[in-house]
A and B are shown apart, each in its own frame.
Chain A
């Protein structure tokens, strides 16, 4: 009877320890778990956000690159036309 009582007490104590340990585990891991959750959700959210931004910006970048090419072509032709005008000015001077 005594032995059974002792065994029951021991099991009760063990249960209490395990219960407390479990709570502690939960409490102790609460912060890391939330960190993990944050760190896991960030990467998963980041590509999603990047994908959302990348699609329109990629198209915009394409158009910007075309515009840049055209602007450079404009500038080069403007230079060419200036050079042509300079040739005309020189040729119009008395040299005959």
Chain B
């Protein structure tokens, strides 16, 4: 998500969250700021805010290193992902400072809520980066190699290995062709769709990433079947 848009949303969403008393539930009992706890004092909110922003910065930096090293990502996707992750790191650092400096509980609570509602580091930024990487690894690496193998197997069955060609092997080759097509269709556009999801989209629909994930899982299954077909043909030709 564009940093500017996120910044513009901070105030609006934070106020809305504050009005709804929607301070996120805390995973740790030690941090006592919960959705039902409207009486958390300033120091508690600040401590929790520091922990939450710090955890996200750590996660974001780890993801940045992995995305940078990922050889399957397209350069365009890598650039988009790193822009979001780096912007979120800067935002988390800024929020940590802001929350620590807050002197009014209501303001601290609103700033704290924005960690979640505006940035969605764990719900959107990181998953969308990984989903895009998963999709790119299929579309740019795995499926082209499978297509290449399929062409070579087809040529082998018609050429040097024609004497070993059987209806069963031809059927496996046909299935391989179909599975590759199914995988391509399933994952087509998945990276772009993942990277287009915004925290606002997630706020409106917490299952917004589910169809994207499902399409990648479907592509994985089809690609796996295609590889199994290829392996069995290859074994028969040896």
Contact = CB atoms under 8 A, between A and B. Distances in A.
B26 interface: yes
In this complex, the member of A59, A74, A95 whose beta carbon has the largest number of chain B beta carbons within 10 angstroms is A95
B237 A73 contact: no
Interface in B63-96: 63, 66, 70, 72
A11 B123 CA distance: 114
A6 interface: no
Contacts of A16: none
A63 interface: yes
In this complex, the member of B27, B130, B234 whose beta carbon has the largest number of chain A beta carbons within 10 angstroms is B130
A70 B160 contact: no
B55 to A, nearest CB: 8
B153 A66 contact: yes
A77 B237 contact: no
B127 interface: yes
Main secondary structure of the interface of B (DSSP, over half): helix
Contacts of A76: 72, 137-138, 141-142, 145
Contact of B142 (A63, A80, A84, A95): A80
B72 A79 contact: yes
Nearest to A86: B130
Given A69-B148, A84-B213, A77 B234 contact: no
A95 B156 contact: no
B127 A87 contact: yes
Main secondary structure of the interface of A (DSSP, over half): helix
Interface residues of B, number: 52
Given A58-B160, A59-B160, A79 B126 contact: no
Nearest to B116: A95
Given A73-B149, A80-B138, A96 B116 contact: yes
B149 A80 contact: no
Interface string B176-216: 00000000000000000000000000000010010001001
B100 interface: no
A79 B213 CA distance: 15
Interface of A: 58-59, 62-63, 65-67, 69-70, 72-77, 79-81, 83-84, 86-88, 90-91, 93-96
7 contacts: A62-B155, A67-B234, A73-B146, A76-B141, A83-B137, A86-B66, A87-B128
Given A63-B156, A83-B131, A94-B27, 13 more contacts: A62-B160, A66-B149, A70-B145, A72-B142, A73-B142, A73-B145, A77-B223, A79-B133, A80-B134, A83-B70, A83-B133, A86-B66, A94-B26
